Structure 1
């Protein structure tokens, strides 16, 4: 089992939105809805490129903004994260069934470790973070890496995602994909199993997906 984190297991995209709006205010501007939605599920470099473009500040230094944003999100994550509907129940059932499980996120290791205080580090055999791969989502590398570390053929893995970038990554890797949109609408696409939430999803349901 391969789980995305933000927007899939926990309702953290809203916290990212708060932090990005705060960063935009520091930059003397206001983040547009268009830019914010385009950032969902993307890597930090891509998100910051979208941010600079939206602010009209193409030469704005990258690293100070990343450092400030990471600190701000860590503060917000530390207050605890809200589970997405059905996510905690499914994760616990998957673990009780003894299925190899990975967390595959575009978020960096530092913030993922904070999120694990809510998610439970014991619920994952493998953690693949956005700052630990050469080519983050939508490239297939994160999901191929996770499957390799688990020792499970990618075609035998179910990946659960909420964003266009994450879905593209999982599809390109060759995983079975269950898409559960959160902040961004996902179109019905051939080969993608689309649900409105994880409520009612269990191991038996996942085993039937092809």
Structure 2
């Protein structure tokens, strides 16, 4: 187990790719906190993490707000002792968007992808800086972050912004022993709870 003794905080960890990553961290020995907005799904994944012999903490929070992000970080530290790894996965599925998404809420897409990432980083970084240690993984999409596509204007803009945010943060916090990384997922990055597509 490569992550024995580590604590990971995974946003959007109750389903899809976030669930897969949370369980992967647990299989590698980490204790895991997951944040989402659906209590029943949170508890189901939390139970799976505990079944793997790891500690789990679930947080039902809205990460587009400072209050929600700060509560997720503070609860994780209180319950699991620290945060070694932050995975910013929260956000909508891009496959459901098309021309009609202009009417359905471009602002929601920007908030779900960019604001949640920014707020979670802002909440966790003081703790990591104090400990002079940490890893942040921000999810992006290689398909749209560097070249926009019709029908995905907000999604493409939000993911491009996440990449620039990640690059800036990486330079700002490297001297504190903190690594900030971008994970490009592509269009179908996961195969359920058994692992990732290679």
TM-score by length of 1: 0.43
**TM-score, normalised via structure 2 length:** 0.46
